[in-house]
Chains A and B, each alone.
Chain A
Amino acid sequence: MQAIRRSMARLLVPARSRNHYVVRHVPSRFSFMRMYSTEPAESIPDDEYILSPELRAKAESLKAEYDQLTASLAEAYDNAKMRQHAKLEALVNYATAYERSSAELADLEELASATDKDSLQLRDEALGEMQEIKVSMAGLKEKIQRLLIPPHPFADYPCIMEFRPGVGGSEAAIFTKNLMEMYQNYCQNMRWKFSVLEYHPSGDGSGITEGILAIEEPGAYDRLRFEGGVHRVQRIPETESKGRVHTSTAAIVVLPQLDQGDENSNEAERSFAPGEVRVDVMRARGAGGQHVNTTDSAVRLTHIPTGIVVAMQDQRSQHKNKARAYMILRARLAEKEHNEKVIKDRQARTSQVTTTDRSDKLRTYNYPQNRVTDHRCGFTMHDLPGCMDGSALDTLLDKVQEWATNEEVKNLQFQ
């Protein structure tokens, strides 16, 4: 059977991708992805429509505040109160609708649980209606969540990803290259425009010591910002002669891209105070000028207040190098500022919560077991080739996003 299926597929799949066929399809049968059927769903899973208790409590308290505001506004007009009132209005409307639907659902459930013969007809109808209500509640839940959880300030921006090897020598450099290719594949699958800003091969050319990827898609930062951190690989390296499994790491930094594909260096420069950034060209010493003809156009920027250093040398034009260096510098500064704010906010809270954006060793890629595990959400996927060629990465990102939203919801009660 397997053989027939394979040979048939071979007829369908273009010759170029034939080799990938087995790798691509078999693992998905073993992966732990939840598969939704395309038939009318029997039931919507609970977490799709039920609002978490934390969010519900928060919505309740805001509703109380809204009622208070309504009462006080009836007595006297106040501009600030009016504004707050208007801000809460949408949320309160959704929350009320949600409460109403949830009460209706409870009534229907009672009907549906009836067992006597006469109400069988009624039961079927109730079940159908419950389905509809659940769908509308799922929509309401989405809206309430969006109103309660503030979006990330850089959510709509394109992003920059930086790749650097961690521990593990040349194997780490190779893995860093693999990771960079994984995200390039992912962008290709998503049809996102991207460009390689910096590509620094390691000594023997098999891996990279540094790579920078600019992804031009607006909103890419929101999708990929949880990818920043330490990625771990467990496999038998190509360089290993005795067949032992090694563990190596690579670090990824994800930054919002603030000047969106803008390579006009003058504009980027102007946003810094004079003297804030030192520009060095890194040329060999000597007479220079007409005496020497160099193709080296490396530019190094040093942000004096923070000590951040950015160097760029990939382009032949020194102004393009400079413009790109400024782009990365601005992104790093924005990220740093944002992180500092997040830490400050968190310290103000009573409880320390695990950070959502960066933690130690956030993911493991285990080659012998064909497994990818995300340590934050505990999600395991047995489709490593699919992950590395970018086609299955989306599932993983969904899970991480879900986990991050849950974390945010948990954090809400401390605010």
Chain B
Amino acid sequence: MRIPPAIKLIARKESPFLPLLLPTLRDLDSARRELRWITEHFTEKAGSSRKDAGLMIRRACYLRGVKSYPLQYILGSQPFGESLDIKCRRGVLIPRWETDEWGMKVASGIRRYHPLFTESKQLSSDFTVLDLCTGSGCLALLFAEQLGHSNKKCHITGIDVSDKAYALANENLYANKHVIKDNVSVSFAQCDIFSTEMNRLVDSDVDIVISNPPYVSEDNYNSAAHTESSVRKYEPRLALIGGVEFYKRIFEIATLRHAKAVVCELADEQQFNDILAATDGILNHQQQHKSSWNVGAMHDGAGVVRTIIAWRRDADKEWGWLRNLVNILP
């Protein structure tokens, strides 16, 4: 789609950098907004040297607008949760707003409704979270931030196969230290969740397993209608292409570690149904059996099926509130 010349003219009159951003951002409002963020970032970075700042801004606008380079890689970070600042670097997936949204809902729900947090008498056990395919560590840190609002002792472990992700997650943990309270401990480990090493790495029980595994199918990845070209060009394949096998493995690990609840991000309704079919042997969600699971799916703010939520039937007392988040039942 061509950009109307009138808009180009206005952009050129307003700022020499604005026309550079238009090819990717298409409309003036978002171009102005991103230009403001870019300008703020680089003026601060360049300090007193105005010439350097101008050069940096021009280069950033060129990368962003002409090359469709992700803004988060240019600025080096993405705000997440209430006040987290997640560093972003090539080779690691950029945190998405959908993840932010559901993570916030689940984490604040735990704090408000889970008996370990609400009951006044001090229950001896600590609360544990396992975050699989953690990438930049954003979900693990979001839970750490939110659960830090209570006094309960919490342990959060994030696991990723990529060494780049593992390094960045640790950097993020360090950079956001001031946001995370003392009652929460966060650690990251590098491990392939499909390997047997996984069983050794996490050898104690957990309360909840959360994950944002790669879920873009090979077909969708190759179709421009589904996957943005900038995502294909600049974000790691490893963090994007995946499918049902991940969810199967996640539920296996959850069962092995006696997790009471599992929340994972997914692509769409079709995938939700595929996951249900593939994991029926593990979840037994159709049986009214004590060890079987309740399963549902939740929409994101744009109305797309985005998360699968599952909790054990015998843990309804602790996790029954998850039912309020569910929009779709199988």
Give A contacts to B, CB under 8 Å.
Answer: 200-201, 203-205, 264-266, 279-281, 283, 285-297, 313-320
Residue among A264, A292, A295, A297 with the highest chain B CB neighbour number at 10 A: A295
* B residues near A287, Cβ cutoff 8 Å: 220, 226-227, 267-268, 304
- Contacting pair B301 A283 (CB below 8 A): yes
A interface majority secondary structure: loop
- Contacting pair A205 B227 (CB below 8 A): no
- Contacting pair B70 A201 (CB below 8 A): no
Q: With contacts A281-B97, A288-B306 known, is A295 near B228, CB below 8 A?
A: no
Residue among A281, A293, A294 with the highest chain B CB neighbour number at 10 A: A293
Indicate if B200 sits at the interface (CB-CB under 8 A): no
- Contacting pair B72 A289 (CB below 8 A): no
* A residues near B329, Cβ cutoff 8 Å: none
- Least CB distance, A356 to chain B, in whole angstroms: 37
Instruction: Determine which of B79, B212, B216 lies in contact with A291 in the assembled complex, contact meaning CB atoms within 8 Å.
Output: B216
Residue among A297, A313, A318 with the highest chain B CB neighbour number at 10 A: A318
* B residues near A314, Cβ cutoff 8 Å: 33
* B residues near A294, Cβ cutoff 8 Å: 97
Given contacts A289-B300, A319-B82, 5 further A-B contacts (CB under 8 A): A290-B239, A291-B231, A293-B235, A314-B33, A319-B104
Instruction: Tell me the complex Cα distance, A265–B13, Å.
Output: 38
Instruction: Determine which of A200, A290, A315 lies in contact with B93 in the assembled complex, contact meaning CB atoms within 8 Å.
Output: A290
* A residues near B108, Cβ cutoff 8 Å: 266
- Contacting pair A289 B82 (CB below 8 A): no
- Least CB distance, B327 to chain A, in whole angstroms: 14
Indicate if B14 sits at the interface (CB-CB under 8 A): yes
- Contacting pair A279 B301 (CB below 8 A): yes
Indicate if B118 sits at the interface (CB-CB under 8 A): no
- Contacting pair A281 B240 (CB below 8 A): no
Count of B interface residues, CB-CB < 8 Å: 50
* A residues near B71, Cβ cutoff 8 Å: 295
Closest residue to B75 on the A side, CB-wise? A316
- Least CB distance, A300 to chain B, in whole angstroms: 10
- Contacting pair A313 B33 (CB below 8 A): yes
- Contacting pair A201 B220 (CB below 8 A): no
- Contacting pair A293 B94 (CB below 8 A): yes
Instruction: Tell me the complex Cα distance, A316–B71, Å.
Output: 11
Indicate if B10 sits at the interface (CB-CB under 8 A): yes
Instruction: Determine which of B34, B266, B306 lies in contact with A295 in the assembled complex, contact meaning CB atoms within 8 Å.
Output: B34
Instruction: Tell me the complex Cα distance, A14–B100, Å.
Output: 51
Instruction: Tell me the complex Cα distance, A290–B97, Å.
Output: 10
* A residues near B231, Cβ cutoff 8 Å: 290-293
Closest residue to A264 on the B side, CB-wise? B82
* B residues near A200, Cβ cutoff 8 Å: 29
- Least CB distance, A3 to chain B, in whole angstroms: 38
Instruction: Tell me the complex Cα distance, A297–B80, Å.
Output: 11
Closest residue to A265 on the B side, CB-wise? B82
- Least CB distance, A311 to chain B, in whole angstroms: 12
14 pairs across A/B with beta carbons < 8 Å?
A205-B13, A283-B97, A286-B226, A287-B267, A287-B304, A289-B96, A289-B306, A290-B215, A291-B228, A291-B231, A292-B227, A313-B33, A316-B37, A320-B79
- Contacting pair A293 B230 (CB below 8 A): yes
* B residues near A204, Cβ cutoff 8 Å: 10, 13
Q: With contacts A287-B220, A287-B227 known, is A319 near B81, CB below 8 A?
A: yes
Closest residue to A291 on the B side, CB-wise? B227
* A residues near B215, Cβ cutoff 8 Å: 289-290
Q: With contacts A266-B108, A293-B96 known, is A316 near B79, CB below 8 A?
A: yes
- Contacting pair A285 B10 (CB below 8 A): no
* B residues near A205, Cβ cutoff 8 Å: 10, 13-14
Indicate if B3 sits at the interface (CB-CB under 8 A): no
Instruction: Tell me the complex Cα distance, A317–B100, Å.
Output: 10
Instruction: Tell me the complex Cα distance, A316–B239, Å.
Output: 23
* B residues near A203, Cβ cutoff 8 Å: 10, 28
- Contacting pair B220 A291 (CB below 8 A): yes
- Contacting pair B228 A292 (CB below 8 A): yes
Indicate if B302 sits at the interface (CB-CB under 8 A): yes
Within 8 A of A (CB), among B263-294: 265-268
Instruction: Determine which of A266, A280, A292, A317 lies in contact with B301 in the assembled complex, contact meaning CB atoms within 8 Å.
Output: A280
Instruction: Tell me the complex Cα distance, A294–B79, Å.
Output: 13
- Contacting pair A290 B214 (CB below 8 A): yes
- Contacting pair B70 A293 (CB below 8 A): yes
Instruction: Tell me the complex Cα distance, A316–B14, Å.
Output: 22
Indicate if B32 sits at the interface (CB-CB under 8 A): yes
* B residues near A289, Cβ cutoff 8 Å: 96, 98, 215, 265-267, 300, 304, 306
Q: With contacts A281-B302, A287-B268 known, is A201 near B32, CB below 8 A?
A: yes
Instruction: Tell me the complex Cα distance, A294–B266, Å.
Output: 17
- Least CB distance, A314 to chain B, in whole angstroms: 7
Closest residue to A280 on the B side, CB-wise? B301
Closest residue to B84 on the A side, CB-wise? A317
Instruction: Tell me the complex Cα distance, A296–B214, Å.
Output: 22
Instruction: Tell me the complex Cα distance, A319–B85, Å.
Output: 12
* B residues near A266, Cβ cutoff 8 Å: 82, 108
